[in-house]
Structure 1
Amino acid sequence: MGIKRKIKNYIYLKKNYPLAKKTTIEVNKKNILIIDTQIPTFDKDSASNRITEIAKFLAKHYNVYMMDSTRWIPKIEAKKYIQNLNDHNVTVYTPYINEFRVMRGKKYFLKKILPKLDFVWCHRPEVFESYLDFFRDKAPQVKIIYDMVDIHYLRMERGLEIKHDEIRAKEAIHYKYIETELSKKADKIAVISDKEKEFMTAFVDKSKLFTVSNVHNLKVKPEEMPPFEKRSGIFFIGTFWHDPNVDAVEILYQEIMPLVWKVLPYLKITIIGDNAPEHFSKMNSENFEIAGFVENIIPYYEKCFASVSPLRFGAGVKGKIGQALEYTLPVLTTDIGAEGMFLENGITALIAGNNDYQKFADNIIEICTNKKLWNTLHQNSEKGIYPFSIEAQKEEIFKMLEG
């Protein structure tokens, strides 16, 4: 690192992280280090929201530390996420200037906690691949948990069946190696659903597999939310770093909404999410709004008829569905969207075939015009969300952290 860069970093740290030293380890508690590819942005993607909720829960019972695997110095935007975790007793690594005006970074942080670590929780395959050998060498006592988040290669292969892409095909091969071969070297593996646990038994010993799904809890009671009569429009939400979400919006625009507009010509759909590709701008109109990232999405749960997710491929548990249920909002999705979600068609969600655009359009029309059906899904949100509560999952988490 050049002298100019060191000076720049020093000034940045002195201003933003002057005394962020937090490596005190309580006795009589196990110590867990969670490593992610970023400081998790709980309000931008479901995987980040999941690991944030898991970290906050674990911190009630263990000493929990978190580290970004890719950045030595967090961006300014990460500060609110770091503070949120710190507020719940999770110690997040940040470099800092100590009282002797010396910069301290990751090497120092790891040196302090490695000898007393019990578990390292590698969130996402890239992290597991990067850190497996490091922890085996530097901290052989540590149990390594590989948190898959979803089965990436399976999602990619499903996408390639719809739209072939050479770069994605190569990525799928690499992820398949991590998820079916390298994963055998983990001590424990967290999978997102029982369906994925069953799938993974073809590659690793079942005793290593534990279902730790998305974490969702009812945020409001049904009676606290605006009724059917005070609602209008529908919305889609999801980060567009994720190919299935890009495809879903294209299908909404090209196939589904034209069918809906034949019956409900003024129904508005809002597309929410960061990193929208350039070609989405051509879709933008009064009734098909490309809103981009929205800081506060709660008003959409309060004013819209439903959250729609016409996913044609993917894997894992869908955070956008769980989040809608948190706010008692009816969910419309596909068979692939409902996979691993414990949803019942007509009771906790409306579900169409992956490529049945007419059925999906009919479901949109129905949820926006049928008060009785809307109320059924609205009232059954707690039933739909219970399997994702901490209460329902805590025993499995504790079991994974035994030994």
Structure 2
Amino acid sequence: MKHLIIIGAVWPEPNSTAAGSRMLQIISLFQNQGYEITFLCSASKSDFSFDLNTISVQTKPIQLNDSSFDSIIKELNPNVVLFDRFMIEEQYGWRVMENCPNALRVLDTEDLHFLRKAREVTFKQNRELVFEDYISDVFKREMASIYRCDLTLIISEYEMQLATETFQINASLLHYLPFLSEEITTNVPKFDERKHFISIGNFLHEPNWQTVLELKKYWKAIKKQLPEAELHVYGAYVTEKAKQLHNEKEGFLIKGRAESVAEAYSKAKVLLAPIPYGAGLKGKLFEAMQLGLPSITTEMGAEGMNGNLDWNGFITSDENDFITKSVKLYSDKTLWETAQKNGYKIIEKRFKKELFASDFMNKVETLQMNLKSHRNQNFLGQILQHQSLQSTKYMSKWIEAKNS
């Protein structure tokens, strides 16, 4: 039986983050091909960490900058190692290369961190993004990680285009793997059975917090036109500053963690997501389409999701237009029902699991069979691998010696 090792930045929390849900999707793809899977992580588990043992995934805690990892990875002897984000590859990639040189190394970016960072900088400086904004330390680190790996998973078509066209990364090193949908939930409450607006997102993720601040700005104007409506803001890890925005009189309600996203979505009439910046695909919008909840978002929020298909609601980055469209979508039954159908169509045409599963696993199998020639063609990756083995390795060993 083939063996996949996943080295996680954190233990997956599918009810807290889209990244947690995506990780379970990737696990499912490998399990369907008969892989045994072990998940390694140095982070502490939380009360909301998914119990991977319930889906037959073995788990092992590991330590940062500790040679005990070498013994663990050698003993497990994987065919494939997947790094959860580039920071994990930086930490453990050289150890995997030294101890399991024939294992296929796969990087899951989740989203391109350098893109999100560049957009955050320009958002906070209130200006347009220019090319130089990309070229940060995060960019250099993430790019080096991509080249050191045999395959990198890209979640968004926009990011795939950015990587191959703007930065000329050879397409053989990349694979487009978005969120995957196994089913669409059409048996949901109708327009007349729903009320209130909803927003959702982990409060520890800065773009989500900025989205809540945008909503606070817009809400009074929406509430003025829809006096009976409330905005229910859900999200894991509510901060104190977020709690201070809670206002019963205004109908702006900070609800905290949603025990069931599906249940919360089924009661709400419209999802509001004025996302000012970010990267990758937005899990909240993906789930809304799956569950039949129309939404209003920005160009940034919808990026990479609908292709040339109509959105399941509206896309606008203008404040006044966002407010107008929110009221319109909330009030117009015909418009709402059309938006819901548009969402189902986007999922059906662009995110069904069957569209991606076999292509991805075929790519993994082909690379394993041709690993030597694949690596020889990626000579820049070999150079970076050599350099990182020298620098990262000895820095890690120095930290380990210092800690002991």
- For the criterion TM > 0.5, the same-fold answer is yes
Q: CA deviation at 1:157?
A: 1.2
Contact 1:218 1:327 in 2 (8 A): no
1:51 is aligned to 23
Contact 2:313 2:336 in 1 (8 A): no
1:308-319 to structure 2, matched below 5 A, reads 308-319=272-283
**d(CA) in 1 for partners of 2:32 and 2:169?**
31
2:107 is aligned to 146
1:282-301 to structure 2, matched below 5 A, reads 282-286=244-248, 287-301=251-265
1:183 is aligned to 146
**d(CA) in 1 for partners of 2:260 and 2:70?**
37
1:223-372 to structure 2, matched below 5 A, reads 224-254=187-217, 256-286=218-248, 287-342=251-306, 347-353=311-317, 356-372=318-334
**d(CA) in 1 for partners of 2:239 and 2:143?**
31
**d(CA) in 1 for partners of 2:198 and 2:108?**
30
Q: CA deviation at 1:164?
A: 4.9
**d(CA) in 2 for partners of 1:89 and 1:232?**
40
AA in 2 matched with 1:207: S
Change (3 A) 1:258 1:123: same
**d(CA) in 1 for partners of 2:53 and 2:334?**
44
Q: CA deviation at 1:347?
A: 4.8
Which of 45, 56, 59 lines up with 1:92 in the alignment? 59
Which of 94, 100, 124 lines up with 1:163 in the alignment? 124
**d(CA) in 1 for partners of 2:59 and 2:115?**
32
Q: CA deviation at 1:90?
A: 2.7
2:47 is aligned to 77
Change (3 A) 1:182 1:379: closer
**d(CA) in 2 for partners of 1:76 and 1:194?**
33
Percent identity over the alignment is 24
Q: CA deviation at 1:126?
A: 1.2
1:177-216 to structure 2, matched below 5 A, reads 177-201=140-164, 202-216=167-181
1:374 is aligned to 336
Q: CA deviation at 1:64?
A: 3.6
Which of 86, 100, 111 lines up with 2:74 in the alignment? 111
Q: TM-score, normalised by structure 2?
A: 0.81
Contact 1:56 1:89 in 2 (8 A): no
User: Which blocks of at least 5 consecutive residues in structure 1 are unaligned?
Assistant: 1-25, 96-104
**d(CA) in 2 for partners of 1:344 and 1:332?**
17
Once the two structures are superposed, residues 359-395 of structure 1 have per-residue CA deviations (whole angstroms, 9 ceiling, x without a partner) of 1111210111000011112233321213222111113
- Give the SS at the match of 1:47: helix
- Give the SS at the match of 1:75: coil
Q: CA deviation at 1:67?
A: 2.4
**d(CA) in 2 for partners of 1:389 and 1:203?**
29
Change (3 A) 1:291 1:344: farther
Between 314-323 and 381-390, report the one with greater CA deviation. 381-390
Q: CA deviation at 1:210?
A: 0.4
**d(CA) in 2 for partners of 1:161 and 1:302?**
36
- Of the two structures, which has the highest relative contact order with CA contacts closer than 8 Å and spacing of 6 or more? 2
Q: CA deviation at 1:219?
A: 4.3
**d(CA) in 2 for partners of 1:180 and 1:139?**
22
Contact 1:234 1:304 in 2 (8 A): yes
- Give the SS at the match of 1:261: helix
AA in 1 matched with 2:139: K
1:384 is aligned to 346
1:36 is aligned to 8
Contact 2:118 2:134 in 1 (8 A): no
Change (3 A) 1:349 1:218: farther
**d(CA) in 2 for partners of 1:62 and 1:106?**
25
**d(CA) in 2 for partners of 1:227 and 1:322?**
19
Q: TM-score, normalised by structure 1?
A: 0.81
Contact 1:195 1:340 in 2 (8 A): yes
Once the two structures are superposed, residues 180-208 of structure 1 have per-residue CA deviations (whole angstroms, 9 ceiling, x without a partner) of 23321111111012221121121522211
**d(CA) in 2 for partners of 1:334 and 1:345?**
16
**d(CA) in 2 for partners of 1:44 and 1:184?**
31
1:399 is aligned to 362
Change (3 A) 1:285 1:68: farther
**d(CA) in 2 for partners of 1:76 and 1:263?**
42
- Give the SS at the match of 1:267: coil
**d(CA) in 1 for partners of 2:143 and 2:72?**
32
Once the two structures are superposed, residues 106-154 of structure 1 have per-residue CA deviations (whole angstroms, 9 ceiling, x without a partner) of 666433212xx22111111211111111111111101111111111111
AA in 1 matched with 2:53: N
Give the number of equivalent residue pairs: 351
Contact 2:29 2:361 in 1 (8 A): no
Contact 1:332 1:351 in 2 (8 A): yes
Change (3 A) 1:345 1:277: farther
